[in-house]
Chain A
Amino acid sequence: DIQMTQSPSSLSASVGDRITITCRASQTISSYLNWYQQKPRKAPKLVIHATSTLQRGVPSRFSGSGSGTDFTLTITSLQPEDFATYYCQQSYASPFTFGPGTKVDIK
């Protein structure tokens, strides 16, 4: 099975900050990497799919990059509604594993 790791596990930031979350796969997954945002007591929401494609309706301050085993999610100019937990996920091979999550909270 492909293992997914994320760093950091949590971070504190201010509105307007730029943040970067890193995700690493235990083996190459090409560009089959997705990012989800989850707010407390809500279902996850797809933010980016296929490494860098912004999901419909997601603001352009979100971006993704990477290939192979190393990927990043960047949010420029963090907004109040962006404080949430972010999960990466590989859709290269079953089981479609998720990373452990990165909680972004307000400094």
Chain B
Amino acid sequence: EVRLVESGGVVVQPGGSLRLSCAASGFTFDKYTMHWVRQAPGKGLEWVSVISWDGSTTYYADSVKGRFTVSRDNSKNSLFLQMNSLRTEDTAFYYCTRTDHVMIIYGGFDPWGLGTLVTVSS
């Protein structure tokens, strides 16, 4: 079974930092592009970042560019999101997901993890 499990969400003060993790299992992790997508409580979905299967290509939403960094450790089947200079508007559930075909960046996202809640508040 393909599984994605996010962790690391906590309450953090504005200006603080946080590192989210996503543990992948049930598939050949190093062949898939991975994404972070977030959803503020009661709001819609916002794509955050992508990293290609080999880590050579990354893209970011303008809202997080320069503050967030996506990375992966293929030897540990893990995806990460380093979040710096956090703002109250970064408060959201953060989902880990993958492009649903091997070795491509552009495609549908499936499956998704259950999400981890990041709350930025003083």
- Interface of A with B (CB < 8 Å)? 1, 32, 34, 36, 38, 43-46, 48-50, 55, 87, 89, 91-101
Contacts and interface: CB of A to CB of B under 8 A. Distances in A.
B65 to A, nearest CB: 10
Given A36-B45, A46-B100, A91-B108, A96 B113 contact: no
B contact residues, range: 20 to 34
A96 B47 contact: yes
A92 B106 contact: yes
Interface of B: 35, 37, 44-47, 50, 59-62, 95, 99-100, 106-115
B107 A50 contact: yes
Contact of B61 (A32, A45, A87, A95): A95
Given A44-B95, A94-B59, A32 B106 contact: yes
A49 B113 contact: no
27 contacts: A1-B62, A34-B107, A34-B108, A43-B111, A44-B95, A45-B110, A46-B100, A46-B110, A46-B111, A48-B108, A49-B100, A55-B108, A87-B45, A89-B45, A89-B47, A89-B108, A91-B106, A92-B106, A93-B106, A94-B50, A95-B59, A95-B61, A96-B35, A98-B46, A98-B47, A100-B44, A101-B44
